[in-house]
Amino acid sequence: MIGHIFRIILIQPLLNLLVLGYNVIPGHDVGVVIVLLTVLVRLILAPSFHKSIKSQKSMSALQPKLNAVREQYKDDREGQAKAMMALYKEHNVSPFSSCLPLLIQLPILIALYQVFIIGLRGQAGGLDSYLYHFVHNPGTLSPLFLHFINLAKPSWLLGVVAAVAQYFQSKMLLPKDTQGDATAKALQLQTLYILPIVTIVISLRLPAGLPLYWLVTTLFSLGQQYYIMKGTAEA
């Protein structure tokens, strides 16, 4: 039941958009279609990501006050927790805001994996049972991007580029001042280095269409973050 709903809500619409774009785009470059599809998805989700990025920026600006609270209540865990929650409430900031983009992206990534298996590898019963009546079935989709990257197979090149983009996206929003706080430093290390490494490892095992999607959505996020930070600085 859940799988059927997931197919109707995400897999089928994304697959139809992929095939429709493949039929329309000159040269039938499926990589170009994935780039355009990624931009479309990000534009639809832009309001929620905009709110999340602003909240992360506020968290970064709030870091010195959080460090002061940690120092003031270093021997009182309960008092520290209450003071920090009061600080979050005062500045209207959610400490869990950074989780929102990942929670939104996860079902999309899972759906795209199925889409690439069906569309680019010609598996899972073919396209006929997935396409809407108004979308022409091209039979097979060429998996080549720019005539040399096979998006149906793993690509270390796209994985590395996506990982580098992930690193700079994370670095842009990380707080500059952790004042020796072990938890903050551990989170910074995980965000800066672990996530890019995970991106590369996943890219070596899954269709290259996924790291291409991740690269484009990360670049979109970088642009969105730069726009928000610039607007904050000018305000």
**Tens of pLDDT along 141-195?**
999 999 889 999 999 999 999 999 989 888 876 665 555 456 556 666 777 888 8
Give the mean pLDDT of 16-43. 93
How far is 212 from 196, CA to CA, in rounded Å?
Answer: 14
Segment 65-76, tens digit of pLDDT: 888 888 888 888
Beta bridge partners of 149: 145
Per-residue pLDDT band at 61 (split at 50, 70, 90): confident
- Quick check: pTM over 0.85? no
Q: Print the SS3 string covering 145-207.
A: ECCCEECCCCCHHHHHHHHHHHHHHHHHHCCCCCCCCHHHHHHHHHHHHHHHHHHHHHHCCCC
Give the mean pLDDT of 122-150. 85
pLDDT for 183 equals 59
Backbone φ and ψ of 103, nearest 5°: -65, -35
Contact 55, 99 (CB under 8 A): no
